[in-house]
Structure 1
Amino acid sequence: MTGVLFVLITTFLASAVEAIEMVTIVLGVGATRGWRATLVGAVAGFAVLAVVVVVAGIALSQVPIGPLRLIVGALLLVFGLQWFRKGVMRVAARGLAGIGMHPEDEPPEWDGVGFDWTAFVLAFKAVVLEGLEVAFIVVSFGANAGQMGVAVVGGVSAVVIIGGVGVVLQRLVTRIPRSLLQLVVGILLTTFGTFWSLEGLGIEWPGGDASILGLLVLYLATAGTYITIERRRALGFSPGV
């Protein structure tokens, strides 16, 4: 059984990636369109996510542990490999660039009266779309490890901490290297996805949970290799040189 610390750290890191982007968008909308409608939209989005976590958690709790690990492991592999690939490409191309909102993505300023539904929709959409991945990670790790409470704490802590830092130090949040975070989380999700998928198929890992560290090292080495290849390719070197 995956330890409490593993579940807490993994859900926190994975949730932090989406929380950074979520907070960046909400702060951008609030600064340009006004805070009342933006905050209402964000709160409404979090309410939807809370329902999703509760419903999904109850549903997954009814699935036997074997099939559950296979299902969750496969889903983690799908998400993890996507983040792994994007993280490798972005780190290779842009290094540790931050995630500040691009000028063309910023909403126009609003100086009207009444309730700003545009700000509401933008904030609601940002929270729901980015938060759905947080909810998926929380439910997956929590249900599979039998530590739903710990997973919820990890996910909520990430959102609260990133949100608090974002309110106080908005520029700092936009400079956080999302490319590196995305790569780290991609490696973690791929590692656990591989481990749980094969466990769900009835395969016994040598060393039990200690095999997770071996998989982690393997995927770290793989990421480093591909980043080096992509950087050399960007500089005009052929793979064989």
Structure 2
Amino acid sequence: MGINQELLQKIVYSIGRAVEHDLPEYLQEHRKETNNATVQLRGDFINDNLRRNLVDEEIQLIPFKRFVWEGRIIVDNVNKVTYTVTTKRNLDSIPKKQRKSPHYLETILHVENGGLEAPVKQLQLLRYPAFDDDVYDDDYSSMFSGYIQDPQQFRHYVITYEAQNNELRDVQLHFLDKDFDPIGDAMPLNQYRKLDYGLLTQTDNSELDPTDKEIPDVVGSPETIKAALRTRRTDHARKVK
């Protein structure tokens, strides 16, 4: 899949600024007896920076919710790639937990990377989760709300970061199959931590309303998305036979 180097540089910069500048500055100005919300605050600052630095005619930032928690998905419409940002610890923990409903990354990997398989599969006595395709399709449609018409044209990458003591230690790009097994080696992104600030002048979206202005008109309803997914799986099954 095509890798947008400029986009990756902006993502890494957005993470680094949140970890090393935005969060420490906020905690210094709003010092409390305890700071238990620090991890969530870091994610909020990352998402703010992603909106400010990334969104333009080709890059979308799609909002979705998990109960009271809100997340963001980066969509590169030119290269047909989606990205999510999370900590390395969180990524490692996701496939180990049993859930009553899919984790959002399980859903995205199942739908977008479902036709791929890692060259080396990890042997596990129990593989979670075990949901039907319809469950993943419905969940995917609810997250993207029709802004991606044909998910099978897209591939998903996970960007992980590790931070300690307000310092960004490591950033990596992961390409995984639906079982969270790596399709290839993780790609280090630490070389992108020094940003060419000229890139930021190309996307000045700090005043965008996150509810609507950065997202174009809906191009496909949830029903259209699910129908396309079922048709593709049927065609794939016929080819296998």
Higher relative contact order (CA 8 A, sep 6+): 1
TM over 0.5: no
> Which protein has the bigger helix share?
1
Structure-1-length-normalised TM-score: 0.25
Structure-2-length-normalised TM-score: 0.25
* The structure with more radius of gyration: 1
> Which protein has the bigger strand share?
2
